[in-house]
């Protein structure tokens, strides 16, 4: 995506000297009289960006973003104020964006768009570069404004009026565009994707994960890859990676009768030949790993409902996960994150399917020495290692947005002997909500607390089974 629309300029000084005609130097008689300086006043100690929690407690906030030091120490949610950009948004005269749209769109470009990528703002294709695909009456502009309006209010129900108004406009415009064929496949995907992932942000009951939009996106990706021109479009790389991660985050949520096979020769080939070569703003160089987890998630969901196992497929999943090797060794945080997702897959595979017949490529003696560890020991080993690794990633890191899925899977395996780690996991989910403002992160913490109570009382249940019993469909990715 090009960045020609990403034009920003420094704010103008509040009391700039007027410049009408030629600027003349004032002589001594023309100089304005010197005004006496007011006496020095004590500087205000009020926090400019203080969080709600510190304001309510009437204490000075250290303004650390995304979670202040006081909230970190207390292990609570931090409703930090949005940082005002020192730059103003400026678009070329040919831009179709209206003045009335600018406040919400500026919030999208500078802030909201950061919750869906693992890269910096400068490399975010969903920020300023997306402006070139915006039409003043199209579905995409209303979608961006809808999500930003909700994000400004931490997706709280009492602040969703403007969000829902814009969302209704987006859905209406999207239907018209599809009927008339007015949008390209790439722009249609962007709208379906953003409407779909935001469905879970807005749902206070934890049941809407954007299923209809996910199915539509699946069809659009198939059409793009089947057409040579669309396949070579600059947006296709972004689209495929975004879809794979989105599908992976929903894999456990799709009911078995509604599941579709994600794998196709076209998608397999594109991921193998193209996705591994270029860094993706959401999946990095790990799109292949997330693709494995897509298929594994659907399989685990089927096993949890039917208890129908396929030992050959389970061995294949184990082999693919153990043999997978990331290519991001130059970025330690990406390495930690990718290993956490691989452990997420192994934990779910062993928890729901048991261990295979001692896969020879395993690096752990638990796989190769019969009786060395039980399955519970093996899974807990993966869980503790994963959580410890994730907690080492700083709260200010962009990689934080990728943590919820492996953190939930690993956190669910902690026992009563892991009281300190349990508390750390709870604090990290609160920090994730402070970071991304996505309500599902708080629901995930609530789910874990309920799960731990049941397990401590002797009940054998997984987080997926408990989530389904509650009637939830949490998309925490």
Specify the length of the chain in residues: 477
Q: Is the CB of residue 178 less than 8 Å from the CB of residue 213?
A: no
**Could you tell me the CA-to-CA distances from 423 to 416, 420, 437, 441 in Å, in that order?**
11, 5, 20, 15
Picking from 187, 280, 200, the residue whose alpha carbon sits closest to that of residue 242 is 280
In this prediction, residues 342-350 reach a mean pLDDT of: 96
Question: Cβ neighbours of residue 149 under 8 Å, at least 6 residues apart?
Answer: 104, 159, 160, 162, 163, 166
**Could you tell me the CA-to-CA distances from 132 to 6, 77, 110, 228, 418 in Å, in that order?**
10, 36, 16, 23, 50
Number of continuous H segments (helices) and E segments (strands) in the chain: 19, 2
What is the C-alpha separation between 209 and 431, in angstroms, rounded? 22
Say if residue 54's pLDDT is above 60: yes
Q: Which helix (H) or strand (E) holds 8?
A: strand 7-10
- Of 179-183, 259-263, 327-331, 444-448, the poorest mean pLDDT is in 327-331
In this prediction, residues 26-30 reach a mean pLDDT of: 44
Q: Is the CB of residue 68 less than 8 Å from the CB of residue 78?
A: yes
Picking from 386, 384, 396, 397, the residue whose alpha carbon sits closest to that of residue 331 is 397
Q: Regarding predicted confidence, which is higher, 3 or 106?
A: 106
What is the C-alpha separation between 61 and 454, in angstroms, rounded? 37
Q: Which helix (H) or strand (E) holds 10?
A: strand 7-10
Classify residue 404 by burial, with Cβ atoms within 10 Å: 0-12, 13-18, 19+: buried
What is the C-alpha separation between 155 and 166, in angstroms, rounded? 14
Question: Cβ neighbours of residue 357 under 8 Å, at least 6 residues apart?
Answer: 315
Residue-level pLDDT at 64: 86
What is the C-alpha separation between 376 and 350, in angstroms, rounded? 9
Say if residue 433's pLDDT is above 70: yes
What is the C-alpha separation between 347 and 351, in angstroms, rounded? 6
Q: How many CB atoms lie within 10 A of CB 12?
A: 8
What is the C-alpha separation between 194 and 213, in angstroms, rounded? 9
Residue-level pLDDT at 427: 94
Residue-level pLDDT at 471: 95
Q: How many CB atoms lie within 10 A of CB 369?
A: 10
Mean pLDDT of the chain: 84
Q: Which two tokens stand for residue 1?
A: 């995506």
Q: pLDDT (tens digit, 9 = 90+) per residue, 5-17?
A: 444 433 333 323 3
In this prediction, residues 280-286 reach a mean pLDDT of: 93
Q: pLDDT (tens digit, 9 = 90+) per residue, 149-180?
A: 999 999 999 889 999 999 999 999 999 999 99
Q: Is the CB of residue 225 less than 8 Å from the CB of residue 271?
A: no
Percent of the chain at pLDDT > 90 equals 60
What is the C-alpha separation between 308 and 225, in angstroms, rounded? 33
Q: Is the CB of residue 66 less than 8 Å from the CB of residue 80?
A: yes
**Could you tell me the CA-to-CA distances from 62 to 52, 113, 343, 400 in Å, in that order?**
12, 25, 36, 21
Percent of the chain at pLDDT > 70 equals 81
Q: Which two tokens stand for residue 344?
A: 């997420």
What is the C-alpha separation between 247 and 189, in angstroms, rounded? 14
Q: Regarding predicted confidence, which is higher, 354 or 413?
A: 413
Q: Regarding predicted confidence, which is higher, 291 or 85?
A: 291
Q: Regarding predicted confidence, which is higher, 330 or 350?
A: 350
The confidence band for 246, taking pLDDT boundaries of 50, 70 and 90, is very high
Residue 143's φ and ψ, nearest 5 degrees, are -65, -45
Q: Regarding predicted confidence, which is higher, 40 or 464?
A: 464
In this prediction, residues 280-305 reach a mean pLDDT of: 94
Q: Is the CB of residue 201 less than 8 Å from the CB of residue 438?
A: yes
Q: How many CB atoms lie within 10 A of CB 367?
A: 20
In this prediction, residues 296-308 reach a mean pLDDT of: 93
What is the C-alpha separation between 412 and 286, in angstroms, rounded? 24
Q: What DSSP state is assigned to residue 284?
A: B
Q: How many CB atoms lie within 10 A of CB 26?
A: 8
Q: Regarding predicted confidence, which is higher, 274 or 192?
A: 192
The gap between the terminal CA atoms of the chain, to the nearest Å, is 24
Q: Which two tokens stand for residue 43?
A: 């500087």
Q: What DSSP state is assigned to residue 80?
A: P
Say if residue 23's pLDDT is above 50: no
Most confident listed range (121-135, 231-245, 330-344)? 231-245
Q: Is the CB of residue 148 less than 8 Å from the CB of residue 106?
A: no
Say if residue 299's pLDDT is above 80: yes
Residue-level pLDDT at 47: 58
Residue-level pLDDT at 117: 93
Residue-level pLDDT at 141: 94
In this prediction, residues 385-392 reach a mean pLDDT of: 94
Question: Where are the chain's structural domains?
Answer: 309-477
What is the C-alpha separation between 159 and 58, in angstroms, rounded? 24
């Amino acid at each position: 995506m090009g960045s020609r629309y990403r034009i920003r300029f420094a704010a103008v000084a509040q009391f700039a000297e007027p410049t009408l005609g030629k600027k003349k130097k004032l002589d001594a008689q023309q100089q304005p009289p010197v005004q006496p300086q007011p006496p020095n006043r004590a500087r205000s100690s009020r926090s400019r960006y203080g969080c709600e929690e510190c304001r309510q407690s009437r204490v000075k906030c250290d303004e650390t973003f995304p979670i202040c030091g006081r909230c970190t120490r207390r292990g609570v949610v931090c409703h930090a104020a949005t940082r005002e950009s020192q730059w103003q948004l400026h678009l070329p005269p040919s831009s179709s964006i209206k003045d009335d749209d600018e406040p919400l769109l500026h919030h999208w470009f500078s802030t909201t768009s950061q919750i869906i990528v693992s890269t910096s703002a400068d490399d975010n294709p969903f920020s300023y570069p997306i402006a070139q695909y915006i039409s003043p009456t199209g579905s995409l502009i209303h979608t961006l404004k809808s999500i930003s309006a909700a994000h400004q209010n931490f997706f709280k129900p009492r602040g969703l009026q403007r969000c829902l108004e814009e969302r209704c406009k987006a859905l209406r415009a999207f239907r018209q565009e599809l009927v008339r064929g007015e949008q390209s496949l790439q722009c249609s995907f962007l709208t379906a994707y953003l409407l779909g992932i935001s469905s879970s942000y807005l749902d206070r009951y934890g049941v809407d994960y954007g299923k209809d939009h996910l199915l539509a996106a699946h069809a659009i990706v198939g059409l793009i890859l089947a057409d040579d021109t669309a396949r070579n479009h600059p947006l296709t790389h972004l689209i495929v990676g975004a879809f794979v991660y989105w599908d992976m985050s929903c894999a456990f949520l799709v009911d078995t009768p509604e599941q579709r096979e994600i794998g196709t020769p076209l998608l397999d080939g594109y991921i193998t030949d193209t996705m591994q070569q270029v860094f993706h703003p959401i999946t990095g160089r790990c799109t292949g790993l997330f693709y494995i987890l897509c298929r594994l998630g659907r399989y685990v969901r089927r096993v949890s409902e039917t208890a129908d196992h396929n030992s050959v497929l389970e061995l294949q999943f184990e082999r693919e996960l153990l043999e997978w090797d990331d290519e991001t060794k130059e970025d330690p945080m990406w390495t930690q994150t990718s290993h956490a997702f691989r452990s997420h897959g192994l934990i779910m595979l062993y928890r729901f399917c048991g261990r295979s017949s001692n896969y020879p490529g395993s690096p752990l003696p638990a796989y190769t020495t019969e009786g060395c560890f039980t399955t519970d020991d093996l899974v807990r080993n993966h869980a503790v290692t994963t959580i410890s690794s994730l907690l080492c990633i700083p709260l200010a890191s962009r990689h934080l947005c990728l943590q919820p899925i492996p953190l939930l899977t690993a956190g669910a395996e902690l026992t009563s002997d892991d009281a300190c780690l349990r508390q750390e996991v709870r604090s990290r989910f609160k920090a994730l909500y402070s970071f991304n403002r996505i309500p599902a992160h708080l629901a995930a913490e609530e789910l874990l607390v309920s799960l731990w109570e049941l397990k401590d009382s002797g009940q054998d249940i997984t987080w997926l089974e408990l989530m389904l019993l509650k009637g939830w469909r949490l998309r925490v990715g």
